[in-house]
Structure 1
Amino acid sequence: MKNKALAEKLQASSQMTKLGQAKIAEAQANGQWQQAQPPTAVIPEQVVELAARLQVSPRAYENFTNLSPFVQKTYTRAYFDAKTPTGRPKRLAWLMDRVERNLPPM
């Protein structure tokens, strides 16, 4: 939304570059321009599900349960926001590695 407003402001003041105009036209043509993507909310059941998946590694599970609720939600969002179901195992491997080493999400 914020980027759309900026793009519209630049267009209105004739400051939008040709490349920017082309990208907007492309997004409008493929539907991305109209498609709002609000941040996904993490529900408590998702945190519990992720914690259960981490139990295969006692160290990852313990570290995850000791994280602050905010960081647990951040990791949970990263896992569940995978674009495809096949992406989740990759995310889980990445996440487990980071949690085992007690690293922050990003």
Structure 2
Amino acid sequence: MKLSPARLLVVLMVSVFAIEMLLMVAFDLLPPMPTWLENSLDATFIAALLFPVLYRLVFQPLRMFVAQQTLTQHKLEQQLDELQRFHKVTIGRELRMKELFEENQALKARLGEQKK
């Protein structure tokens, strides 16, 4: 499932609307009760019925997305470490080649002086 702000908004709106509609119909079928009791039951049932919907449709996909991002970040860090090691080895080789070239030039210069 693709996570997006629009999807989250639609899921929340449809879930709250459907659950509230069901509760309103159910309360109309029940005998009259005090307003405070009806409001308390309404809030309790909304929370109880909305939790599984939100858990399944929002929290689980979000948790999977975060786990995937963490794994991707770990892989990128490993690749960065590998590239840094390669860079260090490459620079070390370049410096050694430069030293050898300079030593070679110095030896050629000394040999040239000895021949004269």
Q: Do the two structures share a fold, i.e. TM-score over 0.5?
A: no
Who wins on radius of gyration, i.e. which is larger?
A: 2
Which structure is richer in relative contact order (CA contacts within 8 A, separation 6 or more)? Answer: 2
Name the TM-score, length of structure 1 as normaliser: 0.26
Query: Could you tell me the TM-score, scaled by structure 2's length?
Result: 0.24
Structure (1/2) with the larger helix percentage: 2
